[in-house]
Structure 1
Amino acid sequence: MATDDGPFTTGHLDWVGMDEIAMPLRLDDAADALAIPARVRAAVNLAKPSARGIHMSRLYLHVDRVLTAEPLSQRSLRHLLGEFLESHARLSDHALLRASFPLMLRRAALRSRHSGWRNYPVTVEGVLERGQFTARLSVEVAYSSTCPASAALARQEIQDAFLRDFPSGQPLDHDAVRAWLGSHRGICATPHSQRSVAQVQARLAESVQGLPLVEMIDRVERALATPVQGAVKREDEQAFALLNGANLMFCEDAARRVQAALDADDNIADFHVRVSHLESLHAHDAVAEASKGIAGGY
């Protein structure tokens, strides 16, 4: 309970509340999504300089009642934040709720009839400031990246090996060349590839009613074209190798692909993207960032 009793330092506080609240969430934007318990942050500011001891129990009860009763959406977020402020009248004019959880989606294999589960770390944040509501989504998408420079060097090595084994001026035997291509000599060098991560933070347009998490993840994966896989049979692995070969990417290329995809999404008013290629050649990561207007980002 807020109190003015006793000597203490005064001042406005940006946020006061609770973090790491264990809370189950309901999602309604995808039939194949599993609702998984989330970790929630609930907070209000203290606009009254002398106030202390906010009503944390009220925040918790509001979170429990709203998030367990209706699906997480812009509507439910705004309603919940309004209740935060109503319960802290004359103390606060800003309210925040942030929920972080793993979104589990079943994904079809590339060629076989199998499917497997993928885990996408997600954060949903809502802020209500003097009547102005803002919703942000953050997702992480894992994908594979093959280095274009390394691919070029590998091709050069294979060309040189071919010229050594099949000198210029001599007739070529089709069967011999085919056998050579299927041997270790035909792939004497390989480009380096690595698991990579795209972190996207987006501010939703005011016209958006729901939380288009799956739609945003799908858009990012289509732009990158090489998302990591769940269920993988031999034919799926071969298809994945073809996708990597057709989508050679520096981190700059990956960041621009995601940037273009988000720019084309009317549901997104603003965004920041960071891609990290967890290098298999170097002991450090290759990183690129792009934004529409969100400063700082990650």
Structure 2
Amino acid sequence: MNALSLPDIAAQISQQALPLDWVGMCGIALPIQLEAQQLRASVDAGVSLDDGAARGIHMSRLYVGLEVLEHEPLSVPLLRRILDGFLNTHQSLSASAFLRINFDLLLKRPALLSPLAGWKAYPITLSAELNDELFHVELIANLDYSSTCPCSAALARQLIQQQFLTDFGNRSLSHEAVLSWLGSTQGIVATPHSQRSTAYLQTRLKPGVEQLPLRTLIDHAEQALGTAVQTAVKRADEQAFALANGQNLMFCEDAARRLNLALKQLPWLAGFNLRVEHAESLHAHDAVAHSQWQW
């Protein structure tokens, strides 16, 4: 008895001839290599279905095309090869290919003063698209930082001044008395409020860039903000962090402007879209600012 060929239902003619912008798979679990690490990633892969008469695409061909991610470090040329492979396996069906890789990048961060260090996870998305030979790659990174409200700091200073007048208005001053007062809760009666905040950076690479400068992007942004959240700390590090917050008082508007100016200095960026969110400790809502350049 002759073996029957397996039916290919996807190759059938669609009863409703209509092209589709994106067809593929989301949430594919894969290992990837980056920064000398093997990381767990969630991958979305797809192509356009430009032949409206075709019932579907070949999903398995997309999946097989992703296997290279397990064996080669992530780079821009590798992303382009994967997208070229998607289109080569869908000739006459698709003109565009898409790839989105989500993962946490682990970076070891030193403490501010002490010899301690710890790991910090940065949520990252790499997005690549190929359409009629037009190819672009986007790097999306989320990073946390601390923001101390300038208005709250000014109000706290005023209360401390008023308390100083109350305690020393009719007294002669001595160095020892003032020093003791400054180190007491009786003197420092108010402190400004601060909150953990998040910057969402969506950046597009210039054509010709081959590497994925994620560490450079994160380092540059954290340096511009000045108050990146810490990992392992001793008391000296915590004090240094308090100093950093005091020297970098920020509304969300300030943070967005700092990041805008900092990102424009990166020569490999073609444009960016950024958003900062300050998770208010004063209010039940968040403060948000948005900025973009050549987007």
Give the alignment's TM-score, normalised by structure 1: 0.94
Aligned match for 1:97, one of 96, 99, 114 = 99
- How far off its partner does 1:4 sit? 3.5
- In structure 2, give the amino acid aligned to 1:91: L
Q: How does 1:130-279 map to 2 (within 5 A)?
A: 130-167=132-169, 170-279=171-280
**Secondary structure of the corresponding residue to residue 23 of structure 2:** strand
Aligned match for 2:116, one of 87, 90, 114 = 114
Deviations 1:188-239 (A, max 9, x none): 1000000000000000011311100101000110010000000011000000
- How far off its partner does 1:90 sit? 0.3
**Secondary structure of the corresponding residue to residue 50 of structure 1:** coil
- How far off its partner does 1:53 sit? 2.0
In structure 2, stretches of 5+ residues that fail to align are: 1-7
Instruction: Measure the CA separation in 2 of the matches of 1:68 and 1:131.
Output: 26
Instruction: Measure the CA separation in 1 of the matches of 2:160 and 2:261.
Output: 35
- How far off its partner does 1:186 sit? 2.3
- In structure 2, give the amino acid aligned to 1:226: T
Q: What is the root-mean-square deviation of aligned Cα atoms in Å? A: 1.1
- How far off its partner does 1:273 sit? 0.5
Instruction: Indicate the residue corresponding to 1:25 in structure 2.
Output: 32
Alignment partner of 1:81 is 2:89: no
Q: Is the Cα contact below 8 Å between 1:158 and 1:185 reproduced in 2?
A: no
Deviations 1:252-282 (A, max 9, x none): 0000000001111111101000000000000
Instruction: Measure the CA separation in 1 of the matches of 2:57 and 2:13.
Output: 13
Paired residues, what number?
A: 287
- In structure 2, give the amino acid aligned to 1:10: A
Instruction: Measure the CA separation in 2 of the matches of 1:17 and 1:52.
Output: 13
Instruction: Indicate the residue corresponding to 1:53 in structure 2.
Output: 56
Instruction: Measure the CA separation in 1 of the matches of 2:149 and 2:261.
Output: 21
- In structure 2, give the amino acid aligned to 1:22: A
Instruction: Measure the CA separation in 2 of the matches of 1:81 and 1:187.
Output: 60
**Secondary structure of the corresponding residue to residue 152 of structure 1:** helix
Deviations 1:60-98 (A, max 9, x none): 00101x211211110000000000000000000100010
Q: Is the Cα contact below 8 Å between 1:35 and 1:103 reproduced in 2?
A: no
Instruction: Indicate the residue corresponding to 2:13 in structure 1.
Output: 5
Instruction: Measure the CA separation in 1 of the matches of 2:244 and 2:62.
Output: 48
Instruction: Measure the CA separation in 1 of the matches of 2:88 and 2:182.
Output: 72
- How far off its partner does 1:51 sit? 1.2
Q: Is the Cα contact below 8 Å between 1:24 and 1:37 reproduced in 2?
A: yes
Instruction: Measure the CA separation in 1 of the matches of 2:19 and 2:164.
Output: 73
Q: Is the Cα contact below 8 Å between 2:126 and 2:139 reproduced in 1?
A: yes
- How far off its partner does 1:132 sit? 1.0
Alignment partner of 1:39 is 2:42: yes
Q: Is the Cα contact below 8 Å between 2:13 and 2:55 reproduced in 1?
A: no
Provide the identity percentage. Answer: 53
- How far off its partner does 1:185 sit? 1.9
Aligned match for 2:66, one of 63, 72, 77 = 63
**Secondary structure of the corresponding residue to residue 49 of structure 1:** coil
- How far off its partner does 1:9 sit? 1.7
Instruction: Measure the CA separation in 2 of the matches of 1:76 and 1:235.
Output: 44
Instruction: Measure the CA separation in 1 of the matches of 2:256 and 2:13.
Output: 53
Instruction: Measure the CA separation in 1 of the matches of 2:208 and 2:232.
Output: 37
In structure 1, stretches of 5+ residues that fail to align are: none
Instruction: Indicate the residue corresponding to 1:14 in structure 2.
Output: 21
Instruction: Measure the CA separation in 1 of the matches of 2:87 and 2:13.
Output: 22
- In structure 1, give the amino acid aligned to 2:103: F
Instruction: Measure the CA separation in 2 of the matches of 1:284 and 1:62.
Output: 44
Instruction: Measure the CA separation in 2 of the matches of 1:291 and 1:120.
Output: 21
Q: Is the Cα contact below 8 Å between 2:13 and 2:53 reproduced in 1?
A: no
Instruction: Measure the CA separation in 2 of the matches of 1:93 and 1:73.
Output: 23
- How far off its partner does 1:171 sit? 2.2
**Secondary structure of the corresponding residue to residue 92 of structure 2:** coil
- How far off its partner does 1:57 sit? 0.5
Q: Is the Cα contact below 8 Å between 2:49 and 2:56 reproduced in 1?
A: no
